[in-house]
A and B are shown apart, each in its own frame.
Chain A
Amino acid sequence: MNTAAIAAPGIANARALQRSLAQAERRRKLRGISLTLPLLVFLLLTFLTPIAVLLKRAIENPEVATALPRTVAALQAWDRRDVPPDGAFAALAADLGALPDRADAGNLARRLNSEVSGARSLVMNAYKALPLEGAGSAADAKARLLDADPRWNEPKFWQAIAKNGARWTPDYLLASVDLRRDAAGNVERMAPDQRAFGRILVRTFGISAAVTLWCLLLGYPLAYWLSTLSARRANVLMILVLVPFWTSILVRVAAWIVLLQSAGLVNRSLMGLGLIEQPLALLFNRTGVIVAMVHILLPFMILPLYSVMKSVPPTYLRAAVSLGSSPLAAFFRVYVPQTYPGIGAGALLVFILSIGYYVTPALLGGPDDQMLSYYVAQYANVTVNWGMACALGAVLLAATLVLYAVYRRIVRAELSLG
């Protein structure tokens, strides 16, 4: 049998071999996948699903559609300008009467109140005045609703109901960039006193950029110095970089409060040296936020820089100098370009981490130093408007992805240059 197969290596046999090879390959791949499967499932559960849920929450708008189906239908034909027809009042009374639980009215009230201030008490007043089904005609229902709260005569509340009749809404996302839909559904800019997030987003990027720049300015020389030291001494000094890195952020923030306050160490020594007369305002403003953030994020700049610098052979610099370049020019034209990947990685890490900063600005900054995450927390925790919190989170996510894409392009360009 064996000899026959060898003697006549038929096409069928070659195919069988191929097939069994492919099978073996497939099995190997499957085994490989099954090994990474736990990780994939973990990622799916802890990372991708929450993000998907967050994005869904940012456009979800079930409250009005679920609670007031008849009212939404009755408002379809309404011109959204004057007080709606009596039928809408009757539909509203019927809808509110049909709510299974007070919590449904509460959720409706919260949703409408974030659209028009005052809707919370308006809806709850009407709900508490129930039952209204006893009302015979539509006009009667209207009279009784107005009796419960005369503000039902104001079109703005009805406009909010009509506008939010759909299950999905772009409103939260629009609001996170200071836009809104008017009663007719056209997108327009918010009233000036309600415009905030555009400026906050710019501020978030501004603070992050400043922190990144300071980290680079301080981290680069330090990383360079570390990379020139012997391994033993570098390791000892590296501990000095890492120990603060491993300390809790809150502890470091508290330490900065002690150092920077007006009777703190920094101000006292400056006054003791006679450099200043009055204590400087270093805390609860931009200075404090940036100082503390730079301190906290510095290791994220130093570590990638150091690892890249370690791999740059010092001979290039010597070669450049021996070929007649001045040391400074050699440093900037030969050495620095070789560390671009480290600069890129460090800057990206620091920038992306700073965009999401929350505790440090909350404790060390004033209200005009708060970054976007502060408002995410505010909407999630205090206002309990999770749609808005998710929309702001989505904006942060988008900003991070865009930055990462930009980084990939720059780094690839750099590599192709090298």
Chain B
Amino acid sequence: MNKSLWATALVVAGFALPAFAQQQITIVNFGGANANAQKKAYYDPFEKATGIKVVPVEYNGEQAKIKAMVETKKVTWDVVEVESPDVARGCDEGLFDKLDYGKIGSKADYVPAAVSECGIGVFVWSTVMAYNGDKLKTAPTTWADFWDTKKFPGKRALRKGARYNLEFALMADGVKPADVYKVLATKEGAERAFKKLTELKPNIQWWEAGAQPPQFLVAGDVVMSTAYNGRIDAANREGKNLKITWTGGIYDLDYWVIPKGTPNKDAAVKFIAFASQPETQAEYAKNIAYGPTNNKALAKLDAKVLAGLPTSPANSKDALQFNIKFWADQGEELEKRFASWAAQ
């Protein structure tokens, strides 16, 4: 009896001691190729530099989990990567802590969109038109081409939902990128976007996860697809020949945020500061074709890497910046309208 008690105590101590000795933080990301690049550029070097263990967790952007944690005051996520519409929204609703830029870096070093009250940009990514270079001989150059089923017969893949698709539809209908959100904000504009989507409806195959578009393109299920540019880049690193048309792409940022009430706030801030340095961001961009938010990182990248980033001048020339405010206001109604449209 006594012996087993001792044994138990030893085992418990064995588990407890390293936990005390080594601090750890939980970092939540979107998984996939992006998570691998983050591990290489941020998590592993951070562990080495600070001795703080990083526990990566994958999620799909569900803000409900953060809300539930903050409301019940049981916050187990320390740093979370969130999409742009959720930064301002979560900040307004008190889900995230305000960032102290004094501990992170000079605001002037970052692209303007990356600096936000509760979040700092992780990377710039773009939703673009992609096709398989082995199967499509003539390159589609505009969204009008994407909609042109005579010139390019076959199915197209679009993300399930209203976001991005309405913008693409308007551009296909001849609206200039600069005017897209102005038009979409009007009743007629939204009508016009849905009407244009209806045109393509019989030829659409929908995707749900970012990993699907490259699969569809490689398998030949679709001739063109909207896709996250980093996923296309990841497929090409595996020897595929997928191509991107940057014209009319929609670029956007993901942000690091700290859920309110995390017990490891200091370590979380330390991590964000670490991941916002030019060196680590440059390393990240080498691993996946997403643009750094720290301007100084660009100088550390060679021309070949730069050419694949959404932030390069050639690629961002005819691109559209995602309008966070528009979608924060209109998102719920437009998504419901999309559900109604899809059911027709």
Contacts and interface: CB of A to CB of B under 8 A. Distances in A.
Given A193-B337, A382-B63, A113 B332 contact: yes
A105 interface: yes
Contacts of B61: 381-382
B332 to A, nearest CB: 5
B64 A366 contact: no
B337 A384 contact: no
A380 interface: yes
Nearest to B216: A261
B343 A368 contact: yes
Given A362-B208, A380-B64, A102 B343 contact: no
B340 A103 contact: no
A109 B92 contact: yes
A378 B221 CA distance: 27
Interface in A173-199: 192-196, 199
Given A194-B336, A381-B62, A106 B329 contact: no
Interface in A108-140: 109-110, 113-114, 117-121, 124
Contacts of A203: 343
Contacts of B265: none
A262 B217 CA distance: 12
B329 A117 contact: yes
Contact of A118 (B60, B220, B329): B329
A194 B94 contact: no
B229 to A, nearest CB: 22
A261 B219 contact: yes
Interface in B49-74: 60-65, 67
B206 A367 contact: yes
Interface in B309-344: 325, 328-343
Nearest to A284: B205
Contacts of A261: 219, 221
A199 B341 CA distance: 11
B196 interface: no
Nearest to A202: B343
Interface in B1-37: none
B160 A121 contact: no
A194 B63 CA distance: 24
A205 B82 CA distance: 35
B174 to A, nearest CB: 23
Interface string A38-73: 000000000000000000000000000000000000
A120 to B, nearest CB: 5
A375 to B, nearest CB: 7
A277 interface: no
Interface in B195-230: 204-206, 208, 219-221
Given A196-B340, A263-B219, A284 B206 contact: yes
B302 interface: no
Contacts of A101: 94
B89 interface: yes
Contacts of B238: none
Contact of B160 (A102, A263, A366, A386): A366
Question: Which of B91, B95, B204, B221 has the most chain A CB atoms inside 10 A of its CB?
Answer: B221
Contacts of A102: 92, 94
Given A381-B62, A382-B63, A124 B92 contact: yes
A18 B220 CA distance: 84
A94 interface: no
A200 interface: yes
A262 B94 contact: no
Given A367-B206, A367-B339, A384-B64, A121 B94 contact: no
Interface of A: 101-103, 105-107, 109-110, 113-114, 117-121, 124, 192-196, 199-200, 203, 261-263, 284, 362-363, 366-368, 370, 375, 378, 380-386
8 contacts: A103-B92, A113-B332, A117-B333, A121-B325, A193-B337, A194-B333, A200-B343, A367-B339
Given A118-B329, A203-B343, A366-B160, 14 more contacts: A103-B93, A120-B328, A121-B325, A194-B340, A196-B343, A262-B220, A362-B208, A366-B205, A367-B160, A367-B342, A381-B60, A381-B64, A382-B63, A384-B89
